Protein backbone atom coordinates (compact mmCIF):
# COMPACT_ATOMS: atom_id res chain seq x y z
CA UNK A 1 0.00 0.00 0.00
CA UNK A 2 1.63 3.24 -1.06
CA UNK A 3 1.09 6.07 1.39
CA UNK A 4 1.12 9.55 -0.02
CA UNK A 5 0.85 12.72 2.03
CA UNK A 6 0.29 16.30 1.03
CA UNK A 7 -0.39 19.51 2.86
CA UNK A 8 -3.35 21.66 1.88
CA UNK A 9 -3.22 25.45 1.90
CA UNK A 10 -5.33 25.34 5.07
CA UNK A 11 -2.47 23.50 6.80
CA UNK A 12 -4.25 20.14 6.92
CA UNK A 13 -2.09 17.09 6.16
CA UNK A 14 -3.93 14.71 3.84
CA UNK A 15 -2.64 11.14 3.96
CA UNK A 16 -3.89 9.03 1.07
CA UNK A 17 -4.51 5.39 1.95
CA UNK A 18 -4.82 2.94 -0.93
CA UNK A 19 -4.99 -0.79 -1.49
CA UNK A 20 -4.84 -2.85 1.69
CA UNK A 21 -4.08 -1.65 5.21
CA UNK A 22 -2.90 -4.88 6.80
CA UNK A 23 -0.41 -6.24 9.34
CA UNK A 24 3.19 -5.66 8.34
CA UNK A 25 4.79 -2.97 6.22
CA UNK A 26 1.57 -1.13 5.45
CA UNK A 27 0.70 -0.28 9.04
CA UNK A 28 4.34 0.46 9.86
CA UNK A 29 4.51 2.92 6.94
CA UNK A 30 1.37 4.71 8.06
CA UNK A 31 2.64 5.01 11.64
CA UNK A 32 5.99 6.29 10.35
CA UNK A 33 4.36 8.97 8.18
CA UNK A 34 2.12 10.14 11.04
CA UNK A 35 5.06 10.19 13.48
CA UNK A 36 7.16 12.25 11.10
CA UNK A 37 4.40 14.81 10.57
CA UNK A 38 3.73 15.05 14.32
CA UNK A 39 7.45 15.70 14.90
CA UNK A 40 7.20 18.56 12.39
CA UNK A 41 4.39 20.08 14.46
CA UNK A 42 1.48 18.97 12.27
CA UNK A 43 -1.85 19.09 14.16
CA UNK A 44 -4.64 18.53 11.63
CA UNK A 45 -4.87 15.30 9.65
CA UNK A 46 -7.28 13.82 7.12
CA UNK A 47 -6.90 10.20 6.04
CA UNK A 48 -8.24 9.94 2.49
CA UNK A 49 -9.61 6.39 2.23
CA UNK A 50 -11.16 6.69 -1.25
CA UNK A 51 -8.72 4.12 -2.67
CA UNK A 52 -8.54 1.91 0.44
CA UNK A 53 -9.96 -1.49 -0.50
CA UNK A 54 -9.46 -3.48 2.69
CA UNK A 55 -8.25 -3.21 6.28
CA UNK A 56 -7.67 -6.10 8.67
CA UNK A 57 -7.79 -5.87 12.46
CA UNK A 58 -4.21 -4.60 12.52
CA UNK A 59 -5.12 -1.86 10.04
CA UNK A 60 -8.14 -0.79 12.10
CA UNK A 61 -5.97 -0.89 15.22
CA UNK A 62 -3.42 1.33 13.51
CA UNK A 63 -6.10 3.89 12.69
CA UNK A 64 -7.01 3.96 16.39
CA UNK A 65 -3.33 4.15 17.37
CA UNK A 66 -2.78 7.09 15.00
CA UNK A 67 -5.90 8.79 16.36
CA UNK A 68 -4.63 8.37 19.94
CA UNK A 69 -1.16 9.74 19.12
CA UNK A 70 -2.59 12.71 17.22
CA UNK A 71 -5.03 13.55 20.04
CA UNK A 72 -2.22 13.29 22.63
CA UNK A 73 -0.40 15.92 20.56
CA UNK A 74 -3.51 18.16 20.75
CA UNK A 75 -4.29 17.38 17.12
CA UNK A 76 -7.29 16.23 15.13
CA UNK A 77 -7.76 13.26 12.77
CA UNK A 78 -10.64 12.76 10.37
CA UNK A 79 -11.32 10.02 7.85
CA UNK A 80 -12.77 10.79 4.43
CA UNK A 81 -14.33 8.90 1.53
CA UNK A 82 -14.35 5.43 3.10
CA UNK A 83 -16.13 2.90 0.91
CA UNK A 84 -19.09 0.92 2.32
CA UNK A 85 -16.88 -2.05 3.23
CA UNK A 86 -14.49 0.11 5.27
CA UNK A 87 -17.42 1.97 6.85
CA UNK A 88 -18.93 -1.38 7.86
CA UNK A 89 -15.64 -2.45 9.47
CA UNK A 90 -15.46 0.83 11.38
CA UNK A 91 -19.06 0.39 12.53
CA UNK A 92 -18.59 -3.27 13.56
CA UNK A 93 -15.52 -2.38 15.62
CA UNK A 94 -17.03 0.80 17.10
CA UNK A 95 -14.24 2.93 15.65
CA UNK A 96 -16.82 5.10 13.88
CA UNK A 97 -17.81 6.40 17.34
CA UNK A 98 -14.34 7.80 18.04
CA UNK A 99 -13.09 8.68 14.55
CA UNK A 100 -15.09 11.23 12.58
CA UNK A 101 -15.86 10.00 9.07
CA UNK A 102 -16.69 12.47 6.29
CA UNK A 103 -18.04 11.90 2.77
CA UNK A 104 -15.28 14.00 1.11
CA UNK A 105 -11.76 15.21 1.84
CA UNK A 106 -12.94 18.81 1.37
CA UNK A 107 -15.60 18.41 4.07
CA UNK A 108 -13.16 16.69 6.41
CA UNK A 109 -10.55 19.42 5.92
CA UNK A 110 -13.05 22.25 6.34
CA UNK A 111 -13.77 21.82 10.03
Q: pLDDT tens digits for 8-66?
A: 999 999 999 999 999 999 999 999 999 999 999 999 999 999 999 999 999 999 999 99
- CA–CA dist 63, 75 (Å, integer): 14
Domain ranges of the chain: 4-110
From the candidate CATH numbers 2.60.120.10, 3.30.750.24, 3.40.50.300, 3.30.360.10, the one assigned to the domain spanning 4-110 = 3.30.750.24
Record the pTM. Answer: 0.94
Rounded Cα gap, residues 49 and 59, in angstroms? 12
Among residues 69, 78, 71, the alpha carbon closest in space to that of 108 is found at 78
Pick the closest to residue 87 from 58, 111, 61, 52 (CA basis). 52
Amino acid sequence: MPIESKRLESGVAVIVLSGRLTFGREVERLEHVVSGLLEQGQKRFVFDAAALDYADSSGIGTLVSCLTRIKKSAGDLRLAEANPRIQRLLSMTGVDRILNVYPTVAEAAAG
